[in-house]
């Protein structure tokens, strides 16, 4: 537990009563709490959007439909045609990550995506979803054959290449969100350090409060949406490429036989 204590990270020890006190068995309480709050926010947003969709003359209805149509167009452009299942998964993935990245705008909240465990879990989910889709679409034989292209000895490299996609998108999201959160915390620490009962302290507090507005907008909104969109597009592109690659061997065989 010394590592977490030195980092001053609040943690739970659910297996302490069984003698497991290693940091591996500890749970970051801030990440868990923030994630559940994000899920609660998602539920409230879905219920609100569902309500306003029944109102013909509503701005929220227009924004909701525009939001949905934008992702429909992205799915069609990336995959060549519209797939309802892929649309639901990818849209939910983007929405969840975007809210996770922007939840710090609420007082006292931390982004769950500044925890590598969260981003790595999202990367694994996107990877597993892609593999399941390819296997269901083209069969296990065509899926397995792709790992042996162009030669049998390339199997280890192909496996590493597929697994590297998980680390790539996960660490990219983690690094950007963690960096933005670190900068924000440093600015807040500087404001608290200079503020005090003196006149200069009050001036520093006011100036720091003004500075926090653009910083929060940049790192909380713009960067949060951009990183969520990057994760979404990389996952969608990888899905489209995997579906196409799995179908190429069959197309070559059919072309040769003809």
Instruction: Kindly state the tokens that stand for 131.
Output: 């593999």
Instruction: Kindly state the tokens that stand for 126.
Output: 């996107």
Q: What is the pLDDT averaged over residues 247-253? A: 47
Per-residue model confidence as pLDDT tens digits over 74-128: 999 988 888 999 999 999 999 999 999 988 888 778 889 988 889 999 999 999 9
For residues 178 and 72, the model is more confident at 72
Helices 59-79 and 29-52: crossing angle, nearest 10°?
A: 110
A 10 A CB-CB count for 28 gives 19
Burial of 129 (0-12, 13-18, 19+ CB in 10 A): middle
Q: What is the 3-state secondary structure of 150-170?
A: CCHHHHHHHHHHHHHHHHHHH
For the chain, the structural domain boundaries read 2-257
Per-residue model confidence as pLDDT tens digits over 209-242: 556 666 666 666 788 889 999 999 999 998 888 8
């Amino acid at each position: 537990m010394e590592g977490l204590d030195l980092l001053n990270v609040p943690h739970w020890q659910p297996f302490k009563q069984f003698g497991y006190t290693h940091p591996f068995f500890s749970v970051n309480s801030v990440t868990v709490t923030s994630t559940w709050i994000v899920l609660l926010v998602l539920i409230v947003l879905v219920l609100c959007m569902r309500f306003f969709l029944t109102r013909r003359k509503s701005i929220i209805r227009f924004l909701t439909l525009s939001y949905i149509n934008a992702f429909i167009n992205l799915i069609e452009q990336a995959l060549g045609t519209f797939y309802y299942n892929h649309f639901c998964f990818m849209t939910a993935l983007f929405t969840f990550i975007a809210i996770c990245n922007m939840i710090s705008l609420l007082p006292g909240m931390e982004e769950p995506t500044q925890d590598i465990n969260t981003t790595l879990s999202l990367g694994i989910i996107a990877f597993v979803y892609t593999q399941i889709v390819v296997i269901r679409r083209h069969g296990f034989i065509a899926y397995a054959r792709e790992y042996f292209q162009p030669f049998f000895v390339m199997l280890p490299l192909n496996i590493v290449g597929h697994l590297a996609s998980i680390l790539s998108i996960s660490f990219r999201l983690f690094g950007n969100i963690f960096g933005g959160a670190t900068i924000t915390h440093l600015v807040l620490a500087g404001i608290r350090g200079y503020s005090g009962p003196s006149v200069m302290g009050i001036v520093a507090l006011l100036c720091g409060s003004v500075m926090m507005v653009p910083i929060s907008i940049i790192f909380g909104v713009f960067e949060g949406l951009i990183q969520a969109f990057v994760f979404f597009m990389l996952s969608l592109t990888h899905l489209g490429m995997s579906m196409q690659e799995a179908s190429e061997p069959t197309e070559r065989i059919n072309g040769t036989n003809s």
